[in-house]
């Protein structure tokens, strides 16, 4: 084997090794973006459904109005995210996660003041968790995902602020019922 042939083999092996080392990092970033998109889509679906439930089972006007806001805002977010999923070739989930469905089913059995208290508590807790995930996604290298997350964060923060106010009002019994 000549020196030139040997050098070509070594160079080719090094290039292949470098490509293999770099590929998992890019793939991991793609998988993180895909996982966020799927989880966010499930979250939006769950929020729309829980918003509808609040309008049906809630006792206070404030809970019903918050539910309507969830339905509207998360419905709009879902449409934007569907476009991102399409750009990335991500297959959208068809329904919320099992955990989200279980929470919905649990709350569907409640009405009146009990529903209002549990709903407000759940919304504050859920939106805190969502904000953390969206802040992380806003820093992703996948620009479509980062942009969607950044654009959605102010809405989630507004939802959290209102959920926390609602939670305090419900605890004090200061929400008006219809």
Angstrom distances, CA of residue 6 to CA of 2, 13, 18: 6, 11, 18
Euclidean distance between CA atoms 119 and 108, whole angstroms: 10
| Whole-prediction pTM | 0.81
In a domain, 36, yes or no: yes
Number of domains in the chain: 1
Give me the mean pLDDT over the 3-10 stretch: 54
Structure tokens at 12: 């080719």
CA distance 54 to 171: 17
Q: Which two tokens stand for residue 54?
A: 């609040």
Does some domain include residue 69?
yes
Domain assignment present for 9: no
Q: Which domain holds residue 160?
A: 21-172
Residue range 57-109, pLDDT digits in tens: 999 999 999 999 999 999 999 999 999 999 999 999 999 999 999 999 999 99
Q: Tokens representing 86?
A: 């399409």
From the CB of residue 60, how many other CB atoms can be counted at a distance below 10 Å?
A: 24
Distance CA 102, CA 133 (A): 21
CATH number for the domain that contains residue 61: 1.20.1260.10
Q: At 58, phi and psi to the nearest 5? A: -70, 150
In a domain, 8, yes or no: no
- Domain-located, residue 11: no
User: What is the residue-averaged pLDDT of the chain?
Assistant: 87
Given this model, what pLDDT does residue 1 score? 63
Residue 159, Cβ neighbours under 10 Å: how many?
22
Express as a percent the part of the chain with pLDDT over 70: 80
Q: How far apart are CA 79 and CA 11, in angstroms?
A: 48
Q: Is residue 25 part of a domain?
A: yes
Cα dist from 53 to 111, 118, 119, 132, whole Å: 10, 12, 10, 25
The answer to whether residue 135 is domain-embedded is yes
**pLDDT band for position 172 (50/70/90)?**
confident
Residue 12 lies in a domain: no
């Amino acid at each position: 084997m000549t020196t030139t042939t040997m050098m070509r083999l070594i160079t080719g092996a090094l290039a292949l090794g470098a490509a293999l080392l770099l590929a998992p990092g890019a793939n991991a970033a793609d998988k993180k973006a895909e996982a966020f998109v799927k989880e966010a889509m499930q979250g939006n679906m769950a929020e729309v459904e829980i918003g509808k439930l609040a309008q049906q089972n809630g006792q206070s006007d404030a809970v019903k109005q918050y539910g309507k806001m969830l339905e509207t805002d998360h419905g709009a977010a879902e449409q934007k995210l569907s476009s991102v999923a399409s750009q990335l070739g991500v297959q959208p989930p068809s329904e919320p996660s099992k955990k989200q469905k279980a929470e919905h089913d649990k709350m569907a059995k409640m009405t009146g003041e009990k529903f209002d208290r549990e709903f407000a508590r759940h919304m504050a807790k859920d939106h805190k968790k969502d904000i953390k995930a969206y802040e992380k996604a806003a820093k992703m290298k996948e620009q479509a995902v980062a942009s969607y997350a950044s654009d959605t964060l102010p809405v989630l923060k507004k939802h959290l602020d209102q959920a926390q106010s609602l939670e305090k009002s419900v605890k004090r019994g200061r929400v008006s019922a219809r």
